[in-house]
């Protein structure tokens, strides 16, 4: 009987982890809901934004999409697809002609030390949703001092550069 109790406890623990991971989907919507909104805080303009990025795919169909410690592994809510929604804050600026976004909330995107960002076009909502911030695919590592992520190579267009799936 004790053996069965241990198995049930382990299964409940695994279910708890799965439910916690999937709760990120509560951000709602489809893959087309990738967007960016300015955080003006009463000011006329700001370089601080809230980003909604949908990413991730079914792990059952993925033999691995990120190399970690020399092995291909599947990481929930990262990489191609649109199964999970992540809502996080970032500061966007231009350094040496390169537009970059640096997260400003430590764990809004992920609690892991890396994020496998798929290529995404985020609607700015400006001009009737005809302006987009485009983020190329990149594997970003958390800065060990600031604990933030930096995305580089961003660019703006009047039409989405990526299909968001």
Please, are residues 103 and 77 in contact by the beta-carbon 8 Å criterion?
A: no
pLDDT of amino acid 22: 33
In this prediction, residue 66 carries a pLDDT of 83
Which residue from 107, 105, 112 is spatially nearest to 91, judged by alpha carbons? 105
Q: What residue ranges of the chain have pLDDT lower than 50?
A: 3-31
pLDDT at position 63? 82
Closest Cα partner for 147 from 88, 106, 117, 110? 106
pLDDT confidence of residue 43: 59
The predicted pLDDT at position 39 comes to: 83
This prediction's pTM? 0.74
Burial class (CB in 10 A: 0-12, 13-18, 19+), 147: exposed
Taking the C-alpha atoms of residue 138 and residue 115, their distance in angstroms, rounded to an integer, is 8
- What are the structural domain ranges in the chain? 27-157
């Amino acid at each position: 009987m004790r053996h069965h109790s241990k198995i049930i406890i382990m299964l409940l623990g695994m279910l708890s982890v799965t439910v916690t991971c999937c709760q990120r989907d509560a951000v709602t919507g489809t893959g087309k809901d990738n967007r960016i909104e300015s955080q003006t805080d009463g000011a006329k303009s700001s370089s601080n934004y809230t980003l909604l990025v949908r990413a991730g795919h079914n792990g059952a169909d993925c033999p691995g999409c990120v190399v970690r410690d020399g092995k291909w592994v599947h990481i929930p809510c990262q990489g191609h697809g649109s199964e999970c929604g992540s809502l996080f804050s970032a500061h966007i600026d231009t350094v040496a002609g390169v537009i970059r976004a640096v997260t400003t909330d430590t764990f809004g995107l992920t609690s892991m030390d890396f994020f496998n960002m798929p290529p995404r076009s985020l609607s700015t909502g400006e001009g009737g949703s005809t302006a987009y911030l485009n983020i190329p695919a990149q594997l970003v590592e958390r800065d060990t001092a600031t604990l933030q992520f930096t995305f580089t190579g961003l660019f703006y267009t009047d039409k989405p550069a990526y299909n968001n799936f």
